[in-house]
Amino acid sequence: MDALMNFGQGIFGGAWPAVWTLIKIVLIVAPLMLGVAYLTYFERKVIGFMQVRIGPNRVGPWGLIQPIADGLKLLLKEIIVPSGSSKAVFVIAPMLAIAPALAAWAVIPFTDTLVLANIDASLLYILAITSMGVYGVILSGWASNSKYAFLGAMRSAAQMVSYEIAMGFALITVLMIAGTLNFVDIVDGQNKGMFADMGLGFLSWNWLPLLPMFLVYLISGTAELNRAPFDIAEGESEIVAGFHVEYSGMAFALFFLAEYANMILVAALTSLLFLGGWLSPVGFLPDGIWWMFAKMSFVLFLFLWFRATFPRYRYDLLMRLGWKVFLPLCFFWVIIVGAWMISPLNIWN
Amino acid sequence: MADIRNYTLNFGPQHPAAHGVLRLVLEMDGEVVQRADPHIGLLHRATEKLAETRTWVQSVPYMDRLDYVSTMCNEHAYCLGVEKLLQLEVPERGKYIRTMFDEVTRILNHLLWIGCHALDVGAMTMALYTFREREDLMDAYEAVCGARLHAAYYRPGGVYRDLPDRMPQYRESTWTSAKKAKELNDNRSGSLLDFLEDFTDRFPKYHAEYHTLLTDNRIWKQRLVHVGIVSPERAMQLGFTGAMLRGSGIAWDLRKKQPYAAYDKVDFDVPVGVNGDSYDRYLVRMEEMLQSNRIIKQCIAWLRANPGPVITDNHKVAPPNREAMKSNMEELIHHFKLFTEGIHVPPGEAYAAIEHPKGEFGIYFVSDGANKPYRMKIRAPGFAHLAAMDEMAKGHMLADVVTIIGSQDVVFGEIDR
């Protein structure tokens, strides 16, 4: 590693830190894009299996080349800009959707040392960046000059705002018990306590003491992602494809990439905040990045499972769930956790 | 202050939930529907007019193209109408076969309905589960008439031929290994009746799976309960029939009230709803599938025990058998006349209706004694149901319109005719 640093220093001189950061960005984004491609494959296979069919199996062995073929196809297709649309906004919107989905990865740690930017306000950064994603959706719906797209955008805006609050509160409880906004510290904080000492680490992770908040976070996360059963912004059978109904080719693909990159992001956040990140569930196995990936895969599998199982919510029912169920529950649980922390039963000191 | 106006949303005919070619012009206030205006006619093929230029038997396959998910029931109404004009009695075995296949058709229709309805509401797995079962019933169609969808199996006077003794088999191919083919052929080794019996034994298990997926699912209930309520009085005024009427709490079923075929000899119950909302209609149709299953079982038992002719021996209506035709002058003449001129139906008019999976499907004939109908009128149940769209959808949200279309179970083949 030192040799590499000296080598880089020698070639690039003072520009080396910037170049090194760029290299790291590529090292995160490239596998992420590959992950997105194969998440679509995973989704089609898993849902296919749940629906008594086989999924893609024509392109390459077991259909493994299918995502690449899909990507190529979308790249080669024409991007049709509707004549009545607001052209500049129409083109910018997909970029606005994909940029935050990628930028958020800057602060995600994969192990306690493997992280691009180990900043103290990483959780805050995530909240700020992911909130930006809704602009892509709203602007695309507005710029398309289509009633279906507009309805999708309006729904999406209302949904994101409502669920961001519930999600924020769920995260506040994590903050309270961790006492830090730094992901590495949050994960390390989950590695202590009675069960961790007994070698049963998975029981000391945040999901158990914060079980209601874990569920709220998982459900709000699904809603934030516009994934089934909360996919009202797309609403296949109602508003056709919602906000991206007028998009084609790579512009459409960017929305698609953003959605799936966000899925992986929420899966990563869930594993970091509630499932102990890279920590091993039991004492006799070593910690490591593979645990992180295993937990992310599990959460991703949950998203797919939801999609294959549930009917879609209606717009007003979704609002009701967010405001009338999750929000009061969060308020209540924040108070409970606060009281728990100052009581003698506190398990987080 | 800005002038706030409602806007119109063009829903279909190219829409995932349009069930074919439904075009709704919706007047919307935000997400709330103020007025729903169904436009029809995009699948109009002038079936009624076509029938005027074809012989009585030639129009039977046109009936398949009406409600193309319950083909045999359409044929049944047509054949009943012709038989009424001819005052012709169908052999008992023919009646039982018709009853059995009407119920197979009802299950086929309801399976497609629940699959599409759930898909519209967002539960996409249902559609694939129901198509797994539909595949088996389609095989039964195929075994009996050679076609999986457009059967053309019923004839005025009975059915085209007796039930086959063997089922079509799967063969080894690129996609089906020898082992897989053997597995698939396992319950196809016996006769059609064996195969159907095996299906009726398996079906309640599948049916329970659908209930598990949907009936008590909170989201499913939230989407269906109190959506598209129709009071019993209104349901009758609007001309509702079938599950739409029974969902509103009126126990009207032509199979009980005006029994045709062998329905007076089989035992079944008529499920009835309470609130008249989409959820009740859902439950009614779900239960109807189980009742159909019961009827099929009884028909299988009867058909096993009672061999006999399946079509009338009146050779003015039904062709004589091949052997007799080749050796007998009388039969040869009958055959020739039947396949050149067709049936001559005495002058008069008749209306015959059956309890179609979607409601009362009726055919009205005027005959002037020629070998073609003078006029044929089709009473399609879906037409009356769709006409109530405005009333049912008013004040609901856009997503509910989709639920209501699903719970009306519209198919454009019959509405546009």
User: Is the CB of residue B351 less than 8 Å from the CB of residue B364?
Assistant: yes
Q: Residue B111: what pLDDT?
A: 92
Residues of chain B with pLDDT under 50: none
Flag whether the pTM goes above 0.80: yes
For A237, the closest of B119, B132, B213 (CB atoms) is: B119
Q: Residue A6: what pLDDT?
A: 77
Residues of chain A with Cβ-Cβ distance to B402 below 8 Å are 237-238
Question: How many CA atoms does the CB half-sphere of B398 hold within 13 Å?
Answer: 28
User: Is the CB of residue A116 less than 8 Å from the CB of residue A106?
Assistant: yes
Digitized pLDDT (tens) for each residue of chain A, 349 residues in all: 777 777 777 777 778 888 888 888 888 888 888 888 899 999 999 999 888 888 888 888 888 889 889 889 988 988 888 888 888 888 888 888 888 888 888 888 887 777 777 788 888 888 888 888 888 888 888 888 888 888 888 888 888 888 888 888 888 888 888 888 888 888 887 777 766 667 677 777 878 788 888 888 888 888 888 887 888 777 677 777 778 888 888 888 888 888 898 899 999 989 888 888 888 777 777 777 888 888 899 999 999 998 888 888 888 888 888 888 888 888 888 898 888 888 877 776 6
DSSP label at B57?
Answer: T
Q: Is A151 in Cβ contact with B398 (below 8 Å)?
A: yes
β-bridge pairing B348-356 and B359-367:
antiparallel
Q: Cα(B130)–Cα(A77) distance, rounded to whole angstroms? A: 35
Would an 8 Å CB–CB cutoff place B399 in contact with chain A? yes
Residues of chain B with Cβ-Cβ distance to A147 below 8 Å are 7, 9-10
Alpha helical stretches, state H, B167-277: 178-184, 192-214, 218-224, 232-237, 242-247, 254-257
Nearest Cα residue to B66 out of B47, B42, B80, B51: B47
Closest-CA distance, B181 to chain A, in angstroms, reads: 16
> Which one-letter amino acid corresponds to residue B405?
I
Q: Residue A196: what pLDDT?
A: 67
Q: Residue B369: what pLDDT?
A: 87
Q: Residue B102: what pLDDT?
A: 92
- CA closest to B128 among chain A residues: A51
Q: Is B397 in Cβ contact with A236 (below 8 Å)?
A: no
Q: Residue B1: what pLDDT?
A: 58
Q: Is B125 in Cβ contact with A50 (below 8 Å)?
A: yes
Closest-CA distance, A225 to chain B, in angstroms, reads: 16
Would an 8 Å CB–CB cutoff place B9 in contact with chain A? yes
Q: Residue A163: what pLDDT?
A: 85
For B128, the closest of A53, A235, A315 (CB atoms) is: A53
Closest-CA distance, A96 to chain B, in angstroms, reads: 26
What would the pLDDT profile of B331-368 be if each residue is shown by its tens digit? 899 899 888 888 888 999 999 999 999 989 999 999 99
What would the pLDDT profile of B215-226 be if each residue is shown by its tens digit? 888 889 888 888
Q: Is B397 in Cβ contact with A312 (below 8 Å)?
A: no
User: Is the CB of residue A315 less than 8 Å from the CB of residue B399?
Assistant: yes
In this prediction the ipTM stands at: 0.82
